[in-house]
Amino acid sequence: MYEVETKCIHLMNKDTSCDKSGAVSFPIYQTATFAHEGFGRSTGYDYSRTQNPTREQVEKIVAGLEGGIDAVAFSSGMAAIAALMEIFSPGDEVIVDEDLYGGSTRLFSNISEKNGIKIISLDFKRDEIEPYITKQTKAIYFETPTNPMMHVIDIQKISKISKKYQLLLIVDNTFLSPYFQNPLKLGADIVIHSGTKYLSGHNDTLAGFIVSLQPEIAEKIRYIIKTTGAGLAPFDSWLVLRGIKTLAIRMERAQENAFYLADWLKSRPEVTRVIYPGLEEHLGHMLLKEQAKGFGAMLTFEVKSKAFAEQILNRVKLIQFAESLGGVESLITYPITQTHADVPPEALEKSGITDKVLRLSVGIENAKDLIEDLQQAFVPDKEEIYGRK
Ligand SMILES: *Cc1c(COP(=O)(O)O)cnc(C)c1O
């Protein structure tokens, strides 16, 4: 069995690769369809909506990294989650954690609900789940750590409930990537990834994955992608393949930088709260230490005022004010108007996502340069110094 760093680069069994040319960088099979050698004879490929060799290669790598029997690559994380919801039927119920990626909340409450799937949203770190389980309940869905408040949810504890009631346990593992956390090994049945983030890692493509552990589920997902058609394109599959090769060193470096930034932010009087699970005072620190191999490189912080949050967004130079995360470039986001713009105000308030909260996706630049950038962004405006504001 290869170690994770090796699995990012090589398939466990080279013989399962469809490419026999010996190419070290897997070829991009830029083709829509595949010719048959004759009646009743096939190369194993028919049409790229169903499968394409480059997509298949990235799927095998991701399945190997998560310890699943199959991974299916979609054109984005949301395409993957939307396809996953097709395994449910009208009348089914899905219990979800309330602190979710804003796009997932939008999908569940506007599209899944319209399609007759009842979504029950709970606070998994506080509410008991069992009282909400009915005969119609089919699955439990959450992210850990959550976005953007970085709550850590106990995968094994929830998997005991899902197993007791024969529900599917679905975990969105985007924030830690398979390098740091493997939910399937902790009792989850399905893992979701926005491959746009750490897996591809260079802010240059969108991608999504559904990784499954049971053959019946894998078969259903294969049927859905063939039928609804949001598969990852050959070139984008190649970009993700290339990105994953450096996943291990990117994750380590980004995490190291996140620790530096968390410490620096903590030392600043303008910062009222630093939420990074790597910090010992973080409520989920011990749990994350048990269920994952690292703390990741996402950190959220709260500043003294909305005006100060805006000042930082206007002033950062190296750190870019942009949505998304998990790339080599450090990005800062303002969840209230960006990732979580469509989340109802009551839900935002309950989660503590205020207009003073900023989220940093720490990249792999030199930490000193990142801190200097924040430092210059923190210097008060002239008007503020001279009292004209
Ligand atoms: C970005 C993200 C998604 C959605 O993925 P896209 O690739 O942007 O469609 C889903 N879940 C989490 C946790 C994310 O960060």
Residue type, 38: G
Q: What integer is the mean pLDDT of 68-97?
A: 98
State pTM to two decimals: 0.95
Amino acid 323: pLDDT: 92
User: Between 385 and 60, whose confidence is greater?
Assistant: 60
Q: Within 10 Å of residue 363's Cβ, how many Cβ atoms?
A: 24
The lowest-confidence range among 85-89, 208-212, 297-301, 341-345 is 341-345
Closest by CA position to 355, among listed 299, 272, 277? 272
Predicted confidence band at 13 (pLDDT cuts at 50, 70, 90)? confident
Mean pLDDT of the chain: 95
What gap in Å lies between CA 239 and CA 37, rounded to an integer?
30
Checking if the pLDDT of 338 tops 90, the result is no
Ligand 1 lined by 147 (C-beta under 6 Å): yes
Amino acid 383: pLDDT: 63
Q: What integer is the mean pLDDT of 220-233?
A: 98
The lowest-confidence range among 2-16, 185-199, 215-229, 314-328 is 2-16
What gap in Å lies between CA 188 and CA 182, rounded to an integer?
9
The lowest-confidence range among 10-14, 47-51, 153-157, 265-269 is 10-14
Ligand 1 lined by 71 (C-beta under 6 Å): no
pLDDT in tens, 353-383: 899 999 999 999 999 999 999 999 999 876 6
In the chain, ranges of CATH 3.40.640.10 domains:
4-244
Ligand 1 lined by 278 (C-beta under 6 Å): no
SS3 373: helix
pLDDT in tens, 147-206: 888 999 999 999 999 999 999 999 999 999 999 999 999 999 999 999 999 999 999 999
Q: Which helix (H) or strand (E) holds 4?
A: helix 4-7
Amino acid 339: pLDDT: 78
Residue 127 DSSP label: S
pLDDT in tens, 283-311: 999 999 999 999 999 999 999 999 999 99
CATH class of the domain comprising 4-244: alpha beta
Q: Which one is catalytic: 60, 125, 138, 197?
A: 197
Amino acid 351: pLDDT: 80
What gap in Å lies between CA 62 and CA 191, rounded to an integer?
11
Checking if the pLDDT of 15 tops 80, the result is no
Checking if the pLDDT of 324 tops 80, the result is yes
For ligand 1, atom 4, name the residue with the nearest CA: 77
In the chain, ranges of CATH 3.90.1150.10 domains:
247-385
Q: Is 101 known to be catalytic?
A: yes
Amino acid 352: pLDDT: 85
Q: What is the CATH T-level fold of the domain 247-385, as seen in this structure? A: Aspartate Aminotransferase, domain 1 (3.90.1150)
Which DSSP string corresponds to 266-330?
A: HT-TTEEEEE-TTSTTSTTHHHHHHH-S---SEEEEEES-HHHHHHHHHH-SSSEE-S--SSSS-
Predicted confidence band at 266 (pLDDT cuts at 50, 70, 90)? very high
Checking if the pLDDT of 389 tops 60, the result is no
What is the CA angle 199-340-111, rounded to 5?
85
Structure tokens at 11: 């398939």
Predicted confidence band at 282 (pLDDT cuts at 50, 70, 90)? very high
Residue found under tokens 């985007």: 174
Question: Ligand 1 atom closest to Cα of 104?
Answer: 10
Distance 20 CA to ligand 1 centre (A): 34
